[in-house]
Amino acid sequence: MVKLRLKRCGRKQRIVAIDVRSRREGRDLRKVGFYDPITNQTYLNVPAILYFLEKGAQPTGTVQDILKKAEVFKELCPNQAKFN
């Protein structure tokens, strides 16, 4: 199972698609954005995030909050509105 979760990278945190069995700092499948909690700045690769969500990836709680704030879930198909 694939999850979208945060991975530490200096003071910033990367949002990555990663296998659920790997460690937090383990090898990721793809980097899909970053989040800087100090300046509350985000960069999201929305097409990549939507691709993983459509394939069944589950975001963690914090990543889900970041994606809700960026209104990424509104771009999903109406039949996949389970994250709203």
Per-residue pLDDT in tens (0 to 9) along the chain, 84 residues? 899 999 988 888 999 999 988 877 788 899 999 999 899 899 999 999 999 999 999 999 999 999 999 888 777 765 555 555
Domain assignment present for residue 20? The answer is yes
pLDDT at 23: 78
Domain assignment present for residue 80? The answer is no
CATH number of the domain that residue 6 is part of? 3.30.1320.10
- Domain assignment of residue 40, given as a range: 1-74
Domain assignment present for residue 81? The answer is no
- Give the whole-angstrom CA distance, residue 48 versus residue 32: 6
Strand order in the sheet with 58-59: 41-44, 30-36, 12-19, 2-9, 58-59
- Domain count across the chain: 1
Domain assignment present for residue 21? The answer is yes
Q: What is the DSSP track for 30-60?
A: EEEEEEETTTTEEEE-HHHHHHHHHTT-EE-
- Give the whole-angstrom CA distance, residue 77 versus residue 81: 7
The number of beta carbons lying within 10 Å of the beta carbon of residue 58 is 15
Domain assignment present for residue 42? The answer is yes
